[in-house]
Amino acid sequence: MKKTWYKEMAVYQIWPRSFCDSDGDGIGDLGGVLKKLDYIKSLNVDAIWFSPLYPSPNADYGYDISDYKNINPEYGDLETFKKVLDEAHKRGLRVFMDLVINHTSSEHEWFRESMKSKDNPYHDYYFWRKGKSDKKPPNNWLSCFEGGAWEYNKELDEYYLHVFSKGQPDLNMDNPKVREEVKSIMRFWLDMGVDGFREDVITYISKDEGLPDGFPLPISTGIEHYKKGPHLYEYLAEFRHDVLDHYDCFTVGEGPMMTTETALEFITEGENQVLNTMFHFQHMEADSIMTDWVSVPFSLKKLKKAFTHWQNELAGKAWNTLYLENHDHPRIIDRYGSLKYRVESAKMLATMCYLQCGTPFIYQGQEIGMTNIHIDSLDKYKDVVTFNNQKVFAKIGIKGDRFLKLANKCSRENARTPVQWDDSPYAGFSTAKPWFELNPNYTEINVQAAENDPNSILNYYRKLLKFRKENEIAVYGSYKEHLKESRTLYVFEREYEGQRMLVINSFTDKNVRFEAPSGFDLSKGELVLSNYRICPLSDNSFVTRPYETRVYLFK
C-alpha cells in the first residue's frame, strides 16, 4: 500500500473541557493544552484531534456549534488557538479539528434566522416541515438523543428536524448554499494551518428524499433514511475536489453502524476516495448490542471477529483506524480488561489494538489507565444521552437506583471525568472545583505517579508507540489471525518484507498454555514488548499470566 504520513502517525484525542484548566474556573481550556504539549509529544504521538473547541451552548458539550469560525470563550480565543497550533507544529504535532456539519446549535445565527419566517434565506438551511393534518410531526422519526426527532415552532406552524438533541437542528445539505458554508469553514481552518478534520457523524448528512416514515425502533426510528443517504458520496466528493485536494490534509469520518462494504465505497484508495479513513464501531460491541447501554457479557470471540474482519476486508485497499476509547464510550479497562489487573490489562489492550494495521487514536487519560467512575447520585450527571436513557429505561421499569447502576456502567460520562495529572486537590486538573466529578482514584492513578514508575501504563504506551514508529512492519505489515477458536487468547501475526511479528494477548486471569503456531520458533524471535518479566523459554510454548501480552519479532 502507498506509504504516507497519516498511516505512520498516532493521534491523541483531547476532549477540551476535561483535559486541563489553566485559569482556575474548573473547565479545561487551551491554556491548559499549551502547558501539556510537551507531555503529549512525549507520548510518541504525532497529532492531536480536538473535540469541538467552538462556541457552543453545550447542549451536547461542543457538538452543538453556534459559531464555526471562532473559539469557545470558555476555552480561550482565536489568538490562543493559533498559539497552540504554532507550538504544536514546532513540536512536530499535527492538529485536527472536529468538523460537525450534520447539525448546528439551535443558537447558531443561521438557525435563528431560519426561524424568523418561511421566506428567510436561511429557512432552507434546515429541515422545516409542516406537520401531518392530525397535528402530528411530519414523520415518525425518533432522535438518537431526545425523544421525537421533530420540534414544533408555533410562530411558523412548522417543525424542524433534529436527529440528535433539540439543540442540534439538522442542516439541509441538499441546499448548495449550505455546502458552500461547509467549504468555507473547512478553508477557514485549513488556511490557518490546521492539518485536517475528524468529521462527526458524516455519514448522516444526506437524508432520503421526502423524509419517509421509518421502521419503528425504541430510539432512532428513521435511521435507515439517513445512515447513508442518497447524496452522501456526491457531497463528500464535492468537499474533496473543491477543498481538501488543495491541501495536504487528513480526514477521518465517523461512521456509526458502518460495515466494511459501505466504508470501502468512501475510503478505497485512488481516484474515487473521499475520506482517508473511517471510525467504525463493530469492535466496540464485544460487550453490548447496538449501544453501550444494552450490555451483555464480554465475548473475546466477538471482539476478534470484528477486528479481524476489518483487518482482512480493508487489506490492500483502504486504511483503518485503531481505537478503544473516545469521549463517547465508558473506559476500556472496565469493559474488555480487568480492574484487578488494571496495569497488565491496559498494556495488553493497547498492544492488541495498536499493533494491528491502521492509525492509532489514543483518548486522553487512556495512557494512564483511567477507569470508570462510581457516581452516587443521578443529579451529578450532565449529559443529554444519560438523561434520555433515564426516560427510555423508565418505560421498561428500570428506575432510581437500578438506573443509577446502569449509568455508572454504561454512560459515556465515564470518559469525561477530568484528566488526573497528580494527587493534589482536584488532581492537578484545576485549582477550583472541576465542572464534573473527579474520579477519587486520582490519588493513585495520575500522570505524575506514572511518570515516576518505569513500569507504568504511561511508559508502556511510550514504548509501544516508539516501537510502531521505528518498525515499518507494525505500520505496513499484513495481518493474519491465529487460534481463532480460542476464547481466552487473541494471537495475530504481521508480515512485512521478510520480517514477521507475533502478537500474543491473553484476555483472562487464568493461566493458559500457548503453543507457538507452526512455522514460528519462539527461541529465534526477539521479545520486543511484554507486560511481565519474562524467563527464558524452554520450548516453543509458555503458560500465560493474567492479561499477559508478548510481541516477538522475527527478522
| Alpha-carbon distances, residue 501 vs 276, 504, 507, 550 (angstroms) | 26, 10, 19, 10
Among 9, 84, 99, 100, binds ligand NOJ (CB under 6 A): 100
Q: Does 164 bind ligand NOJ (CB under 6 A)?
A: yes
Site for ligand NOJ in 337-376 (CB under 6 A): none
User: Alpha-carbon distance 37 to 437, whole Å?
Assistant: 24
Closest by alpha carbon to 401, among 380, 430, 377, 434? 377
User: Alpha-carbon distance 52 to 102, whole Å?
Assistant: 14
In a 13 Å sphere around the CA of 507, the CA atoms on its Cβ side amount to: 24
* Buried b or exposed e, range 479-505, using 16+ CB within 10 angstroms: bbebbeebebbbbbbbebeeebbbbbb
Residue placing its CB nearer to ligand NOJ in the complex, 21 or 200: 200
User: Alpha-carbon distance 442 to 426, whole Å?
Assistant: 9
Work out the burial of residue 121: count CB atoms within 10 Å of its CB; fewer than 13 is exposed, 13-18 middle, 19 or more buried.
exposed
| Alpha-carbon distances, residue 5 vs 9, 10, 270, 361, 469 (angstroms) | 6, 10, 16, 15, 11
- Residue 86 has a CB neighbour count (10 Å cut-off) of 12
Residue placing its CB nearer to ligand NOJ in the complex, 61 or 266: 61
User: Alpha-carbon distance 489 to 240, whole Å?
Assistant: 42
Q: Does 292 bind ligand NOJ (CB under 6 A)?
A: no
User: Alpha-carbon distance 122 to 442, whole Å?
Assistant: 48
Least Å distance between CB 520 and ligand NOJ? 40
Least Å distance between CB 36 and ligand NOJ? 22
Least Å distance between CB 519 and ligand NOJ? 42
Catalytic member of 146, 158, 200, 287 = 200
- Tell me whether residue 209 is one of the annotated catalytic residues: no
Least Å distance between CB 416 and ligand NOJ? 10
Number of residues interacting with ligand NOJ: please give it, by CB under 6 A: 9
Residue placing its CB nearer to ligand NOJ in the complex, 181 or 383: 383
Q: Is the dihedral of CA 302, 308, 313, 314 positive or negative?
A: positive
Least Å distance between CB 256 and ligand NOJ? 8
Angle between helix axes 342-354 and 457-470 (nearest 10 degrees) is: 20
Least Å distance between CB 330 and ligand NOJ? 14
Query: Could you tell me the three cell numbers for 35?
Result: 502547558
Which residue's entry shows cell 500465560? 544
Least Å distance between CB 415 and ligand NOJ? 10
Catalytic member of 60, 64, 254, 548 = 254
Among 151, 292, 325, 328, binds ligand NOJ (CB under 6 A): 328
Residue placing its CB nearer to ligand NOJ in the complex, 151 or 200: 200
User: Alpha-carbon distance 23 to 30, whole Å?
Assistant: 10
- Tell me whether residue 200 is one of the annotated catalytic residues: yes
- Amino acid occupying residue 296: V
Site for ligand NOJ in 47-76 (CB under 6 A): 60, 63
Residue placing its CB nearer to ligand NOJ in the complex, 320 or 326: 326
Contacts of 54 (CB under 8 A, 6+ apart): 62, 65, 66, 67, 68, 70, 71, 72
Site for ligand NOJ in 12-31 (CB under 6 A): none
Residue placing its CB nearer to ligand NOJ in the complex, 98 or 548: 98
Least Å distance between CB 441 and ligand NOJ? 24
Least Å distance between CB 103 and ligand NOJ? 7
Residue placing its CB nearer to ligand NOJ in the complex, 100 or 438: 100
Residue placing its CB nearer to ligand NOJ in the complex, 362 or 447: 362
CB 203 within 8 A of CB 209: no
Site for ligand NOJ in 242-261 (CB under 6 A): 254
Closest by alpha carbon to 416, among 339, 361, 364? 364
Q: State the residue number with the nearest CB to ligand NOJ.
A: 63
Least Å distance between CB 254 and ligand NOJ? 6
Q: How far apart are the first and last CA of the chain?
A: 21
- Residue 193 has a CB neighbour count (10 Å cut-off) of 14
Relative to beta strand 489-496, strand 499-506 is: antiparallel
Site for ligand NOJ in 200-219 (CB under 6 A): 200-201
Residue placing its CB nearer to ligand NOJ in the complex, 144 or 286: 144
Residue placing its CB nearer to ligand NOJ in the complex, 200 or 493: 200
With residues binned 3-state (H G I as helix, E B as strand, rest as coil), the percentages for the chain, rounded to 5, are 35, 15, 50
CB 176 within 8 A of CB 124: no
Residues that bind ligand NOJ (CB under 6 A): 60, 63, 100, 164, 200-201, 254, 327-328
- Could you give the residue numbers annotated as active site? 200, 254
